[in-house]
Amino acid sequence: MPSNVEIKARVSNATRLAERASQLSQSEGTVIRQQDTFFNCSTGRLKLRNLMDGRGQLIFYERPDCDGPKVSNYSISDTQDPEGLRTVLADSLGVKGEVRKERRLFLVGQTRVHLDTVEGLGHYMELECAGREA
């Protein structure tokens, strides 16, 4: 199963973080609108990411619930019918929650820098470094 290391934090100055990420990545970043639906799951987490353009990703991941950097093991399957898949999963497993956000993605070396504006919650950042498969 692929893995990555993630660090997440609330952001108090999104403009300053975007400026710094822009400098480091030498780009303006890529804007991605997303709606994540989380489903009840007996182990790990299961979410459907609707990319709001007719595409989506079903993502299962296992990650500890703790502060600081953490390893996340995950599996991803792409879909061309996120709404239909959401209906089937909601009917069979039940919805645990939903998150709508606008993500600005910057690539700095092998690190993905996400600056998220989460509807109703504010600004967050995530640093994500891909792990190596054995």
- Rounded to two decimals, the pTM is 0.88
The pLDDT value recorded for residue 133 is 53
Q: Determine the Cα–Cα distance for residues 97 and 108; give it in Å rounded to an integer.
A: 31
Domains of the chain with bracketed CATH: 3-130 (2.40.320.10)
Measured in whole angstroms, the distance separating CA 117 from the mean position of its chain's CA atoms is 12
Residue 132 confidence (pLDDT): 59
Q: What are phi and psi of 16, to 5 degrees?
A: -65, -40
What is the predicted pLDDT for the residue at 134?
46
CA 29 to centroid of chain Cα atoms: 15
Is the alpha carbon torsion for 57, 67, 31, 34 positive or negative?
Answer: positive
> What contacts 21, CB < 8 A, 6 or more positions away?
29, 104, 106, 108, 113, 115
Mean pLDDT of each 10-residue bin along the chain, 134 residues long? 92 96 97 97 96 96 89 96 98 98 96 97 95 58
The pairing of beta strand 30-39 with beta strand 70-79 = unpaired
